[in-house]
Structure 1
């Protein structure tokens, strides 16, 4: 073969190789496009949200393996209250609140000889009580959560395995008289796992005690009330909601369900947030970042499943069916009677605390509350949940709100 022929063949080979590469690239792009179309068609019911109203919040935190949603959600609420009133951003310390609250709860358990629950949970009022009576410190004035026992975040498994039997042993003691030393021992456990609460600290160059720091935040602790809606107590009166973690027995104002929802909407519309407590154990509360109050009979019908077949499905298959319906999933119409029935038969439970801070709508016009969680940047929306107004109406246990965020006619009826 001549050198000229070799050059021609070499050129031809390069040309052919370019053609092959080009065709391969086109084929890959085509496959990718088809895959994207297939993916989009599968997720055609995934909600697409448009924000209607969004109030300022502080950063997403992670309670990790601890039952302290009540501390995270309520401190987040007060951080938003400070933002609204002063424009300043704070990172308040959940460990300080937990340390003070668990000691107070243990004292009550011992006083009642163990005839009440000692657990990780709490209420929004617990945080308010600590702020008013003990103060608060910034996050970095105490050890980072989990750091004292070699973890990167809170993990209360060992902590409560040590603390719970300690408290129970004292509370159930058959002694005719107990000493006060048990409190010293318990404080040692609290400090070992949560860190010692500082008596003073520096913040932005100034020295504070916890009480002085709380006073410097610019909030009036008398502005905060708790709202609920049940029929076993008269409307327009206050009563302590009967759940175990409401152990301080603070009073909540009882209003009809429609007025409860009006309070939330009025608060958000006027730049306020809400420290929400309620039930997230329902099927409609997804781990992806949405919450729907499913009408299960209609859901079963739409998925081609009768009740008997539905009960035989695995959790994975049920979840897949829920996901396929997405924002088109049918929801119940919540009623006052339904709320009361679910509360009395233990279906409506006090599972979780979160922060309502905004309103959005999906592509079908359905409205959702924008809700800040405390599970880190988890889910499809990086730690934010979109919970339908129907879900909130059906699953609210109670919530804390600034009384100035309540519509005037409701405030007048309540006398606040």
Structure 2
């Protein structure tokens, strides 16, 4: 009897020692604006990059401003329309985009506060771009069928006026008159300060290349580094007080908005259990990352904003990632943030965008090298 009792105690000890619910300790928590929702749009790229720029403004001069996501969306739709027309419809035309599309937009057009340009009309309180995109695409397709038959640029601007509101060139903020460019300059943002970095083995490391993913319609350049270097760049930037824009794959069972977690548990661990208890994760290599990308298991799905770093009770590292799916729903955990394990990041991150001043002199020198 005594031996049976001892055996039960031993089994329970093993079970509870290996089944620990998550206990996170915040290591770095950088300031960010409130979590909001992109609603029924595919414009996570503008919501996340606007959030990233808002944190940059806080870091640079302490101002807390809510930037207009839709101002940059409007200008990007125009660029995307030009690309679609000039490629005679042989290009993707959708709501998707990347962080550099926002940087390209603010380089030419600056940015404005959300109170100046909400992109909401007729007392609407939520964004819905399903009809907008369909209307734009039909107009562009009609022009491609009969080139020169009408002024497509004028029609595209009229459609954007109808769905998002007329463009803005001057506005008042805190009783001071601004243009979008002067406002951006006052907030301390220089678009030339931002670089996009990735890690893929099909191109030489420490060179720039155009990453061929569907939403890279603008042929943006990515600086390629080894995988361990990529995580080191993120960790160093956070330690220096810089937040990071993130493009990654979220179409995984191991990514849960409900639990506010993104993890890569080993094959023999049920994902439902891994969301509740700390579990051992896969070891992520450059080769595995490349394999997942080339077989389309890792896709360019969603952009978010890294604002901090945490550790669980076993010492595993997680990134605190601000999402744009709201925070009030019962289906959204961690107040609208995702705690993304380092393993998930290494396997499923497409790229990061950050201020070049967060980089080491060694990396920065290589980026500048022609």
TM-score by length of 2: 0.90
1:292-347 C-alpha deviation (Å, 9 max, x unpaired)? 0132x2225xxxxxxxxxxxxxxxxxxxx514652423321111111111111111
1:220 equivalenced with 2:190 (yes/no): yes
Aligned-residue offset at 1:365: 2.3
1:358 paired residue among 296, 303, 308: 308
Residue in structure 1 matched with residue 362 of structure 2 by the alignment: 409
1:21-48 C-alpha deviation (Å, 9 max, x unpaired)? xxxxxxxxxxxxxxxxxxxx9xx74422
Q: Distance in 1 between matches of 2:140 and 2:134?
A: 11
Q: Distance in 2 between matches of 1:360 and 1:104?
A: 38
Q: Distance in 2 between matches of 1:401 and 1:252?
A: 12
Aligned-residue offset at 1:217: 1.5
Q: Distance in 2 between matches of 1:267 and 1:401?
A: 8
Once the two structures are superposed, the pairs formed by residues 158-307 of structure 1 within 5 Å of their partners are 158-171=131-144, 173=145, 175=146, 177-179=147-149, 181-288=151-258, 289-295=260-266, 297-300=267-270
Total equivalences in the alignment: 348
Residue in structure 2 matched with residue 80 of structure 1 by the alignment: 55
Query: Computing the radius of gyration over CA atoms, which structure comes out larger, 1 or 2?
Result: 1
Seen in structure 2, the aligned counterparts of structure 1 residues 57 and 325 have a Cα distance that, compared at 3 Å, is closer
1:61 equivalenced with 2:31 (yes/no): no
Aligned-residue offset at 1:161: 2.8
Seen in structure 2, the aligned counterparts of structure 1 residues 186 and 412 have a Cα distance that, compared at 3 Å, is closer
1:118 equivalenced with 2:89 (yes/no): no
8 Å CA contact retained: 2:242, 2:358? yes
1:156 paired residue among 121, 124, 129: 129
Once the two structures are superposed, the pairs formed by residues 30-109 of structure 1 within 5 Å of their partners are 45-109=20-84
Q: Distance in 2 between matches of 1:412 and 1:165?
A: 46
TM-score by length of 1: 0.80
Structure 2 counterpart SS, 1:348: coil
Extract unaligned runs of 5+ from structure 1: 1-40, 301-320
Extract unaligned runs of 5+ from structure 2: 1-15
Residue in structure 2 matched with residue 332 of structure 1 by the alignment: 282
Seen in structure 2, the aligned counterparts of structure 1 residues 159 and 46 have a Cα distance that, compared at 3 Å, is farther
8 Å CA contact retained: 1:298, 1:330? no
1:71-97 C-alpha deviation (Å, 9 max, x unpaired)? 000011111111111011111101111
Aligned-residue offset at 1:151: 3.5
Q: Distance in 2 between matches of 1:55 and 1:266?
A: 13
Structure with greater proportional helix content: 1
Q: Distance in 2 between matches of 1:45 and 1:189?
A: 54
Q: Distance in 1 between matches of 2:279 and 2:129?
A: 37
8 Å CA contact retained: 2:261, 2:340? yes
Aligned-residue offset at 1:231: 1.0
8 Å CA contact retained: 1:327, 1:362? no
1:381 equivalenced with 2:351 (yes/no): no
